[in-house]
Amino acid sequence: MYNTQSEHWKEPYLNGKVILIDKPLTWTSFDAVKKIRIATGVSKVGHAGTLDPLATGLLIICTGKFTKQINEYMAAEKEYTGSITLGASTPTYDLESEPVFVGSTADISEEIILETTKQFTGQIMQVPPAHSAIKKNGTPAYILARKGKEVKMEPRSITISSFEITKIELPLVYFKVVCSTGTYIRSLANDFGAAIGCGGHLSSLRRTRIGSFKVDDAHSIESFIEEINLLKGK
């Protein structure tokens, strides 16, 4: 545990806390966990739901006995905002790989875009990206995909409660999605572009809510470390 009176501040983190972090762009979710471990000096730290490096937003990080609640938080409904770029697709379904032109967006109307969202609401079957951490015979699929091997991903049942188009500035389409756990927004972007007929990929993503937890209530990594340093008396 801790050895001196000056480390009493650490006790709540050792016992268990839920920390809301606004994950920065390009960071992995584990980067954020590692920072929390270093800042608090607590080894038992985990996150409730991975965010890709190119996504920002809410990351629930648990310490101590609260790590037992991670699965409960992971199962909660999620809310995302972001943008889909129409006219091109990518192997990873986002900007981690080079976009390849599929079709022109010149004849795509607002009506077509809004109508297409309807087939992606409710309980639907979705195929996860081959470039994902889902394991195939014990190996993460993205490792196999990066080696150029063919990876067959099985469709899974998900629920998209709401798929709202918030702004259209072609080729960009901005959205807000409320969905169940297990939903890949990258797959939604790819499938949405394919359904319209011109291709599409995810060009930005921000997680704004997990269950009742909101990103508006989250710390930046910098502000969290600053708060810890104040507790330490630095």
Active-site pick, 22, 52, 94, 191? 52
Report d(CA 146, CA 8) in Å as an integer: 47
Under 8 Å between Cβ of 90 and 98? yes
Residue 22 annotated among the catalytic residues of the structure? no
The burial of 122, by beta-carbon neighbours within 10 Å (0-12 exposed, 13-18 middle, 19 or more buried), is given as exposed
Of 70, 16, 84, 63, the closest CA to residue 211 belongs to: 70
Cα–Cα distances in Å, from 154 out to 103, 127, 134, 141, 189?
27, 6, 10, 12, 18
- Catalytic residue positions, numbered: 52
